[in-house]
Amino acid sequence: AASFAASPARRGGGRRGGGRMSAWEALAQAEEYERTEAIFQQVLQRDPEEAATLCNYACFLQDVRSNFDQAERLFKKAIFHQPRHVPSLCNYGMLLQEIRGDYAQAENLYKRALAVDPAHTSSLYNFACLMKNAKQDYDGAEALFQRVLLLDPQDVGALCNYGTLLQDVRGDCGGAERLYQQALQVNPADGPTLCNYGLLLKNSRKDYDGAEYLYQRALEAEPTDPTTLCNYGLFLHTVRMDPNRAETLYKRALACDGCHLSTICNYATLLAGDRRDYARAEGLLAQAPPGHPA
């Protein structure tokens, strides 16, 4: 089976528009992580209760160090000292949503952020993704995506993810296609949108050349995205009848994410059906989580 590519949850707060980059942002962008961390620690020595610094340091620890426990402690400290600090509420919600799988508490934090700032697009967007993907509350997700797009009609992530909802849940391929086209007008190299639009052209329009062109563009934009590698591999296997190229893409996808379920299932199908290699197919399927249909 093919799967939809999702634009990731996003950070709340930070610079807006063309604002100047802070010292720590410049250092982090240059991958000078030791100096970045030293700046955070120096600032917090002077003011250990400053919510913005606590929040930014927590984001750094989560994204760069993968130190989720310490990041969580700093988010909690920031919110304790400044309960209405919207970036901390949003970013802690993102950690709980993506790392902990604590959707109830993430939802609570997004609601708290939006009670302070109803136009905070990152909280709206992350909450919409939670409602769509974790709770399958599609009406709630649709309303939140619409609120994001009222505030920012060029929000590529909202356009893409709302497009997948229309395509996959509502069966509104025309509406989905319009949203994908809007997103690509803003960012022609957005990998998730290119991948999902390719899936629409393949399945709904039977425009196989157009679909392949979009998959290739998606891989140019994000060469290590397992969903695009998987979907293009399935396309090559089932449409172009080219199991060799498909297998190459499945291997690349699993090298990026060894637990990518759609790739596991599709590659196992290729191994069993085309290679008659049932032992390797069974070994792949054993990697799926217990109880999964694979």
**What is the tens place of the pLDDT at every residue in 271-290?**
999 999 999 999 999 988 76
17 sits in the region (left: phi over 0; alpha: psi -120 to 50; else beta) called left
As a 3-state breakdown, the chain gives helix, strand, coil percent values, each rounded to 5, of: 70, 0, 30
Which residues of the chain fall short of a pLDDT of 50? 14-21
Give residue 293's pLDDT.
Answer: 60
pLDDT of residue 287: 87
DSSP 42: H
Alpha helices in 96-207 (DSSP H): 103-116, 121-129, 138-151, 156-165, 173-186, 191-200
Kindly report each contact of residues 66-72 with a partner whose C-beta sits within 8 Å and lies 24 or more positions away, as own/partner: 68/95, 68/99, 68/100, 71/95
Task: Name the DSSP class of 20.
Answer: P
pLDDT attached to residue 15 = 33
Q: Is 255 exposed, middle or buried (0-12, 13-18, 19+ CB in 10 A)?
A: exposed
pLDDT computed for residue 18 by the predictor: 34
pLDDT confidence of residue 16: 32
> Using CA atoms, how far apart are residues 1 and 54, in angstroms rounded to an integer?
43
